[in-house]
A and B are shown apart, each in its own frame.
Chain A
């Protein structure tokens, strides 16, 4: 029973991790919060749905949803962040909230506010591993999420472009003086954050098999909680934060009561921000 819940928690948590990574990439780079991030997740889920309904094979639909969500994130950067770089930090925050509302409303116009059903695209197989029952969807989700997490981690830590990203988030002006094209770094960061949210969207939709234009709101909040618990700007922290939240959520539902789930999550969020703003693994507090 406990092991089973642990697997369920990891499956759920790995989608949270993908969202948290996107948050932390942008926040680490610009010290700004992209509230519309949850809605990019929703947009990705709907793109995946549209392509899958059109009969596009699932891996390709996946790729297209990722691409579309990434481009949407670039659009957000262009509209909500770039024109507002030199003004009060509240402006980009608010414009992303407004953009999120816009995206939800447009999605409602295109796909309707009733839950849309995801087509059954994968053969649902169940495997008995000792006491634990694992479905093929669980395996797909955990494999894809972990694969992407390792990929983005290697990219940021080992490649020269990743070094440019880290330099820009550390000291944008110095990085720019050293010849880093900071605008390219910013655009690429937004693209990867959006693409990861898009993947998370399709994966979540596969589990719950139905989606609405408003699923992004809670997912965005949870992603933010996971980011804070992992430490802002800390990639690996965001991954672990997401997994932890997933496990806490599932364990709470299994052993406690589901109606207090969000109080516990947001209470944790509050306690972390106030008493441990550097997160679980952070060492030095950064000025936001």
Chain B
């Protein structure tokens, strides 16, 4: 694989994780426009640990993700009392606060950025991706997964049948922050260099777009969306300067003509049914 391809595939893995972090939060119908903030916290924490204290990369990334998760709880507790657009704006403000904080925070380089984290390999990234996919796969067929779906579809009914809606929402928010933190750690140790602008609001936005365009009602939508829309800009390179314009136009058109996304739960069920059929035949 060429270095260029490796770069595309590695960033695609990070994008899949970011999409899953958005999906986790969205699975209770909460929208976070601040996941780049959690990503930044995971990235700076783990990079600081490996570069300044010499900690090994894997525990550093886990610690970074945990710190991002704690931040997720601190932000989630006040923010999740709000509704709809207010959550979007509050998380968005949170992301900007984090970004401007790291722009000015001298111990991690401030405006000069932070140099030195190394060690992310493709197997490490895709190990995380596979672990997350496995987790969401198991979750979607579990009691907890169904409780989350109930909260998403109708929080009032969910709470009337005895589900702790607040706790489920907060748990989903924590999970999203944790995964975004891990994505940040992997990203930092792949890029060798991070700066506050690596965690711009556009990163949060793109992560949401992957999920929406891929299909927001199943985690496969997040995965497929992230894959397609990580590769699409590369295939549009022949457009040169007009690349981003075309990309924006594709996004607007997709939203108009297929607002439910590429992958719908019905498709997943059909594929699962198909696979089950094949396995049954193979077994018989």
Could you say which of B88, B93, B202, B259 contacts A87, with CB atoms under 8 Å apart?
B259
Is A270 an interface residue when CB atoms closer than 8 A count as contact? Answer: yes
The residue in A31, A95, A259, A269 that gathers the most chain B C-beta atoms within 10 A of its C-beta is A95
Query: Nearest A residue to B34 by beta-carbon distance?
Result: A270
Most buried by A among B94, B216, B242: B94
Q: A residues within 8 A CB of B90?
A: 270, 273-274
Q: How far is the CA of A228 from the CA of B90 in the complex (A)?
A: 10
Q: Are B93 and A269 in contact (CB under 8 A)?
A: yes
Q: Are A274 and B248 in contact (CB under 8 A)?
A: no
* B101: interface (CB < 8 Å): yes
From B83, B242, B244, B245, A288 is in contact (CB under 8 Å) with B83
Taking CB atoms, residues of chain A closer than 8 Å to B82 are 273-274, 277
> Hey, which chain B residues are within 8 Å of A275, CB to CB?
78
Chain B residues with Cβ under 8 A from A270's Cβ? Answer: 90, 93-94, 97
- Contact yes or no, A79 B256, CB < 8 A: yes
| A residues near B205, Cβ cutoff 8 Å | 94, 97
* Given A89-B85, A266-B96, residue A80 in contact with residue B79 (CB < 8 A): no
Instruction: Please tell me if the beta carbons of B241 and A109 are within 8 angstroms of each other in the complex.
Output: yes
Question: Is B54 among interface residues, defined by CB-CB distance under 8 A?
Answer: no
Q: Tell me whether A102 is interfacial, beta carbon within 8 Å.
A: yes
Given contacts A266-B96, A270-B93, A275-B78, contact A84 B31 (CB under 8 A): no
- A4 to B142: give the CA distance in the assembly, Å: 64
Q: Are B212 and A91 in contact (CB under 8 A)?
A: yes
Report if A263-B101 is in contact (Cβ < 8 Å); known contacts: A79-B252, A94-B212. Answer: yes
Query: Residue of A at shortest CB range from B250?
Result: A98
Contacts of B252 in A (CB 8 A): 79-80, 95, 98-99, 102
Whether A33 and B88, one on each chain, are in contact in the complex, defined by CB atoms closer than 8 angstroms, is yes
Question: B255 an interface residue at 8 Å Cβ cutoff?
Answer: yes
Size of B's binding interface in residues, CB under 8 A? 39
B251 interface residue per 8 A CB criterion: yes
Q: Which residues in A have their C-beta under 8 angstroms from that of B78?
A: 274-275
A76-108 vs B, Cβ < 8 Å mask (1 yes, 0 no): 000110011001111101110111011001101
- Nearest CB of A to B17, in Å: 20
Tell me which of B83, B85, B248, B259 contacts A102 (CB under 8 A). B248
> Is the pair A94, B208 in contact by a Cβ cutoff of 8 Å?
yes
**A273 lies within 8 A of B84 (CB):** no
Question: In the complex, what residues of B have CB within 8 A of residue A266's CB?
Answer: 93, 96-97, 100
Does A114 belong to the interface (CB within 8 Å)? no
Taking CB atoms and an 8 Å cut-off, the chain B residues in 69-100 that contact chain A are 78-79, 81-86, 88-90, 93-94, 96-97, 100
Chain A: CB-nearest residue to B96 = A266
Q: B residues within 8 A CB of A267?
A: 93, 97
Say yes or no: A105-B212 contact (C-beta < 8 A), given A95-B255, A263-B101, A277-B82.
no
The winner among A79, A89, A90, A224 for most chain B CB atoms within 10 A is A90
A40 to chain B minimum Cβ distance, whole angstroms, is 15
Does chain A have a CB within 8 A of B275? no
Query: A287 contacts the other chain (Cβ, under 8 Å)?
Result: yes
Question: B209 interface residue, CB < 8 Å from A?
Answer: yes
Question: Is B249 among interface residues, defined by CB-CB distance under 8 A?
Answer: yes
Contact of A263 among B83, B84, B100, B208 (CB under 8 A): B100
Query: Across the two chains, which residue of chain B brings its CB closest to A92?
Result: B255
Given contacts A259-B104, A270-B94, A270-B97, contact A93 B88 (CB under 8 A): yes
CB within 8 Å of A: which B106-124 residues: none
Bound-complex Cα distance A287 to B249 (A): 31
A270 to B216, CA, bound (A): 26
A32: which B residues are within 8 A, CB to CB? 85
Does A256 have its Cβ within 8 Å of any Cβ on chain B? no
User: Is A63 positioned at the interface, with any CB of B under 8 Å from its CB?
Assistant: no
Which chain A positions have C-beta within 8 A of B216?
88
Query: Is B192 an interface position by the 8 A CB rule?
Result: no
In the complex, besides A87-B259, A99-B252, A101-B202, 20 extra interface pairs with C-beta distance below 8 angstroms are A27-B85, A31-B84, A31-B85, A93-B88, A95-B255, A98-B255, A108-B241, A109-B241, A109-B245, A221-B96, A228-B89, A260-B100, A267-B93, A267-B97, A270-B90, A273-B86, A274-B82, A275-B78, A287-B84, A288-B85
Q: List 9 A-B contacts (CB under 8 A).
A: A80-B255, A84-B256, A84-B259, A89-B84, A94-B251, A98-B252, A105-B244, A273-B89, A288-B85
